[in-house]
Amino acid sequence: MRKSNEKISYSVVPFGTAKQIFIVAEPQQNYITQPEDQTQGHGKSVPDYQRQIRSLIESIRDVILAEGFGGCVVMSNFFLADIAMRELVRQIAEETCPDGFGAMTIISQAPVNGAVCSAEIWGIAGKNMTVQKSKLGNVVLAQVDMVRWFFGGDFRPQNTPIGAYNRSIDAFKNLKEQLIPNQFLIEQLVRTWIYQGHLVLADKVTEDGILQRYQELNRARTDFFSDTKFLNRYIPKKHKAAVFPASTGIGADDVDVVISAIAVDSLRSNFTVVPLENPNQTSAFSYGVNYSPQSPKFARGMVVNIENWCQIFVSGTASITSSESQYGGDPAMQTEQTLNNIAALISGENLAKHGLQGFESGLDKLECVRVYVKNPDDFGVVEAICRKRLGDTPILYTVADVCRPELLVEIEGFAVTTKKS
């Protein structure tokens, strides 16, 4: 089931024997105010941050309650044009929705339409499940169908190291410190999001040249994941390739790094987790050193499979075939190629090649999509293509740097599919 209006859209779909909701929302109005003192700001009207944020959160709350997900939100992401509004968002969220917004991450990425904030919400509800807020950190734990889920957000550096590498390592350590007391391990991660401020700027000078902040992030991720056998208990024995979580590494408007993550655990005999690679792309972890001294350690996608049901986490995807960028400078063709890549990744044919026979899948199975646009002026053409190809799928658009200077668009999402009867 999908519903939408101009400012909020959502999908309600199966989550095993439970149900899940994905909500994408913007403020109901772009409220503005006129300064009382007309000499301030030359008398120009300015955004009313508080009213915009409150209208956003109230509209989300109303959908949550109307669809039976009260107290069942597991993860929320708030995207802000000005990160200084972070505490205002938290305060209004606590006042407006006492049941909470799950593991909340606040990200310094501006909505493309000029609003001061937007949000993406994920909730899970059902008779045979539990959702609880952990007493340790910004974490929500859920259990359904004998599967335990960890949802964690807003993992930032806790100390004061300098440089993208050191601060990324510290943020990963913060994530690990929240996993362990909640009975999870790093190797149980299935999905991560890494928001790195000033992603493609120079961060370090070496004998071999200048390293970007994204390259330093890749080095930190490689070192932190060193020797970790991801999801070994759940991976089909026939799978021989390297295994890493699905992930997005994307730019942000501030200078720091923040991470959110999902981990999973189950003793079910018919529970599997399958990393997906794209038949048209080189695996990211196999990229050459010309792109980054340490390759990005992530899978193109990750499938959580219980019997006849699959949840597919689609990693951040761009206009790349093999390992080369395509259609430099052309946002329309980059958007088309990116969607082609996602369609190939989650196709029934590719799922079958990865041992998941009998599942129908494609772009129509995407239940929530996030689109990162580097240049706001490209939004119109990007949105038109996404709407044409994705229909009424809830889509959130933000402004963000992508990992290579020539890349203008990156797209990620969640897909849900069931086996053909």
Residues involved in catalysis: 410
**From CA 139, how far away is CA 135, in angstroms rounded?**
8
Strands 366-373 and 395-399: parallel
**From CA 114, how far away is CA 30, in angstroms rounded?**
8
Tell me which residue of 315, 421, 314 sits closest to 360, measured CA to CA. 421
How are strands ordered across the β-sheet holding 271-276?
Answer: 271-276, 301-306, 309-317, 409-418, 366-373, 395-399
CA 291 from chain centre, in angstroms, equals: 23
Residue with tokens 């049901």: 309
Helix (DSSP H) and strand (DSSP E) numbers for the chain: 7, 24
**From CA 285, how far away is CA 137, in angstroms rounded?**
30
The interaxial angle of helices 49-66 and 86-96, nearest 10 deg, is 40
**From CA 228, how far away is CA 218, in angstroms rounded?**
16
Is 231 in a helix, a strand, or coil?
coil
Query: Could you tell me the sign of the dihedral formed by the alpha carbons of 398, 401, 403, 408, in that order?
Result: positive
Q: What angle do CA 232, 239, 366 make, to 5 degrees?
A: 90
Strands 189-197 and 246-252: parallel
